[in-house]
Structure 1
Amino acid sequence: MQTRLTFTHISLFLSLWQPAHRVCCRYGFVLLILVLVGCEPNTTIRSFETYTTRLANVLDTSPVTININGSDLNAFPEPRELLLPIEDIRIDLLDAYELRKCGLFHLIAERNSILGKVQDKTRQLRYELILLSGLNHCQKVLPENSDVLPLLEGFKLQKQTQISNYLWNMLTTEKEWRQQLTIHRSPFEHDAFYGFDESMSAFNYLTFIQQHIRADTSIEEKQADRLIHHQEQLHTHHYFGQLMYSMHLSTLWLEAITGMLEQNETTLICGPNRNQQKAEYMSNVFYTFFINEIQPYLAELDSQYRQISPALIKLLSPAPSESSTLTLYYEQYLGSSLHEHFRLATLQHVEFWKRTFKRCNIKIGVR
């Protein structure tokens, strides 16, 4: 049987299709905008590319490029290389029940519940810190003739020897913490150093915990609860790994551009009784792109590294793990290797301009 479309069917189809078509077009247009916005080049990369292109145009040469994929950046070790084994220490149920008199039984029972046994490493460290504080409290308030007191002292000593390993395991293997240390291959945008405040606060807090652990002094529950807050604040960031990548990328660009300038230095004729037009063009490019865009970015990278690195040096050194990968990571990012390379590349670039401006009799800072 052949089906025929009447004018009524066609009109109905068009009436249904046109609104749907408009909706699809509308959402398609929005999607296109989002795609185009997502394709916007990173402002830092764009600044370096524009800088080298403008300089190359003045020097009548080809702009330089860099190969970031071939660069040597040490990776943060895998969790299995860093995780330290921690012996499970148990306390007898009857002895633990005696701790209800000093408020510690509920904490231990909570830790041994179904949910307590699947805690992440941040909450495990929180528990251990509160437990040690509670053990100190129990020793102070329980009667001197309590049978549980001698057991508590041994239990506490065992826990004190383990607590630093809990801190280490959290920092190096827990997702939110280790992603701060993992190299993140996307440079910071200009004026958008996301995660600095959160990371500074979190890592400084961990050094506070580390100091108390080494001094065998208690950390109260409210202080231990801050671990959860910092973990949540770090969730969306890859701060230190992104900082290291940004410094490394900047170093490669600076070295490449300085090399291009030095190779073409003899073509820049300037000085007394010489045509200064090319030198003036070069000066304009220098001030417009390097001084106004790139130099403030480099200064901020340097400043943030100097602020964040002391806390990480304390937390990762001396490393209880014998991972050779961690040794390479530490030497490159915290042993000043990458930072010194970055500063040297910046200095050499600035030295070229100082030398050139002196030769061309152009006063620095006069615009």
Structure 2
Amino acid sequence: MSKKQLVVYSFLALGIGAFSYGLIYWQKPLSERLFQDYSSRLNRVLSISIKAPKQTPSLPQIYWRDYLKKEPELSLSLLDSITLKHCGLDQLVFEKNSSLGKHASADYTLVWHIDLITGLQTCLANNHLDAQLKASLQHILETKRAVINVYWHNFLVNELSIRHLWSSQQAIGKNPLPSYRALATNLTELSHIHGELVTSHSINKKQLLRLSEKLQKGASILALLQELNATSAWLNKVTMALDARQFSCQESKAEYDILRNILTKVYTANVQDYLAELDQSANAVINSLSPLMQQSHAELLARASAIHLEFKQANRKHVKQWKQILDSCT
């Protein structure tokens, strides 16, 4: 290999290495990139060593089957359904007993339950029904109406688009608030669907299916909780390091000026802005989650609220630490 080729290959290797490093860096969560910059500047000025905190899982492993409620076993024979063909019940029973019906998605299963309730109401309005069959249909209808919240509960647990909220590890962007406000709006709309279901035993099928699609493509609650967790850990690390350093502006005016520069141009301008977006995102999501999932996902909801509270406490402690430093120098 000639000297010229060696130089070219060396530059290529350096370029590939730099590109790989840059790619890895920009794939890191924004909280990690912001706090690495913030902490490294403090380390240089104060001669301290703030290291990245260990990452801990935001949520325990979720066993969705444990969240399900038992549904009543109700049956309508195929023979009975054939006699009720004019009500449309025959088609509903065939659908449920087909291979597709047995493996239908949670949203379609919920729609099927509501369609059956509607079909039963229509059939019972027919005065030509056999008395025994009519009594059987009345029992099924009353039972299904009584457990409509069980069907809704199991929909919330089984629906893949809702599981996605608690399991997707998609990255959060620089400005997450619009995405989480959109998620909060969708969750509120889902609560309204539940309200309509309870009061009128009806459901807007297109609206429900459209919402399932939006939730599947939308922001992740788990990703938000992971960022809240990570930033809380970073804030606590930096706060403890600043507290232990016992900085005195009387001893070093130059250090104090640099610290103020880090505070205004790094923490306030970059870190704090991002933290504010996370806080507002968490407020929006948790407020919309509470009425919707306080029964079906109580443990997850409690964990989300606890993570948000820890985040707010870490923020307050950090601001208080900076205030102590600034007050000591005025």
Normalising TM by the smaller chain, what interval?
Answer: 0.7 to 0.9
- Give 1:305 shift: 1.6
TM-score (norm 1): 0.73
CA contact (8 A) 1:255 1:345 kept: yes
2:187 aligned partner: 203
The Cα offsets for residues 293-352 of structure 1, whole Å up to 9 and x where unpaired, read as 111211122112222113322333335xxxxxx76544322xx32221111110111112
* Cα offset, 1:150, TM superposition: 3.9
Q: How does 1:156-171 map to 2 (within 5 A)?
A: 156-171=141-156
- Tell me the equivalent position of 1:349: 318
Residues 201 and 112 (structure 1), Cα distance of their counterparts in 2 relative to 1, 3 Å cut = farther
Q: Is the 8 A contact 2:161 2:216 kept in 1?
A: yes
For 2:201, what is the secondary structure of its paired residue?
Answer: coil
Cα displacement (A) at 1:183: 7.4
Shift, 1:195, TM fit: 5.1
Structure 1 Cα separation of the partners of residues 21 and 111 of structure 2: 43
1:48 to 35, 54, 58: 35
Q: Mark the CA change 1:127 to 1:195 in structure 2 (over 3 Å): closer, same or farther.
A: farther
Taking a change above 3 Å as real, the CA distance of residues 225 and 149 of structure 1, as seen in their structure-2 partners, is farther
Distance 1:131 1:327, change over 3 A: closer
1:230 partner amino acid: L
Could you tell me how far 1:102 is from its partner in structure 2? 4.2
Match of 2:110 in 1: 125
Of 86, 94, 97, which residue of structure 2 is paired with 1:112? 97
Q: Work out the percentage of aligned pairs sharing the same amino acid.
A: 21
1:190 equivalenced with 2:167 (yes/no): no
For structure 2, list consecutive stretches of 5 or more residues without a partner in the other structure: 1-14
Tell me how far apart the structure 2 counterparts of residues 295 and 195 of structure 1 sit (CA, whole Å). 19
Whichever residue aligns with residue 78 of structure 1, its letter is: Y
Give the residue type in structure 1 aligned to 2:241. Answer: M
Largest Rg, 1 or 2: 1
1:51 and 1:289 in contact (8 A); partners too: yes
Residue range with higher mean Cα deviation, 292-301 or 38-47: 38-47
Query: How far apart, CA to CA, are the structure 2 residues paired with 1:84 and 1:197?
Result: 30
Q: Distance in 2 between matches of 1:87 and 1:350?
A: 54
Change (3 A) 1:36 1:329: same
Unaligned 5+ residue runs, structure 1?
Answer: 1-28, 320-325, 362-367
Q: Which residue of 1 aligns with 2:8?
A: none
Q: Is contact 1:187-1:249 (8 Å) kept?
A: no
**1:1-367 aligned within 5 A:** 37=23, 40=26, 41-68=28-55, 71=56, 73-139=58-124, 142-144=125-127, 146-147=129-130, 149-182=134-167, 184=169, 188-192=172-176, 196-197=180-181, 199-215=183-199, 217-220=200-203, 223-236=204-217, 239-264=220-245, 266-270=246-250, 276-319=253-296, 329-333=300-304, 336-361=305-330
- CA offset at residue 194 of structure 1? 8.2
- Of residues 77-86 and 342-351 in structure 1, the stretch that sits farther from structure 2 once superposed is 77-86
Query: What amino acid does structure 1 have at the position aligned with 2:325?
Result: T
How many angstroms does 1:291 deviate by? Answer: 1.2
Specify the alignment match of 2:6 in structure 1.
none
Change in Cα spacing, 1:340 to 1:181, as seen in structure 2 (3 Å) is: same
Give the counterpart letter for 1:203 in structure 2: L
RMSD over aligned Cα atoms: 3.1
**1:65-115 CA distance string (max 9 Å, x none):** 2111xx364415212322333344222335434544344543443333332
Task: Note the alpha carbon deviations across 1:102-138, whole angstroms, 9 max, x for none.
Answer: 4454344333333222212221112112332343455
Relative distance call for 1:144 and 1:90 in structure 2 (3 A) is: same
Higher helix share: 2
- Pick closer, same or farther for the CA change 1:36–1:302 going to 2, 3 Å: closer
CA 1:198–1:43: 2 relative to 1, 3 Å: same
User: Contact 1:177 / 1:234 at 8 angstroms: preserved in 2?
Assistant: yes
SS of the counterpart of 1:318? coil
Rounded to whole Å, the distance in 2 between the matches of 1:138 and 1:191 is 53
In structure 2, what residue type is equivalent to 1:212?
E
Query: C-alpha distance in 2, partners of 1:64/1:33?
Result: 25
The answer (yes or no) to whether the contact 2:224–2:278 under 8 Å persists in 1 is yes
Secondary structure of the residue aligned to 2:99 is: coil
Match of 1:16 in 2: none
Q: How much has 1:62 moved relative to structure 2?
A: 1.9
* Distance 1:296-1:36 versus aligned 2 partners, 3 A rule: closer
Return closer, same or farther for 1:296/1:304 CA change in 2, 3 Å cut-off: same
On the 8 A contact 2:45/2:258 being kept in 1, the answer is yes
TM-superposed deviation, 1:49: 0.7
SS at structure 2 position matched to 1:353: helix
Length, aligned pairs only = 312
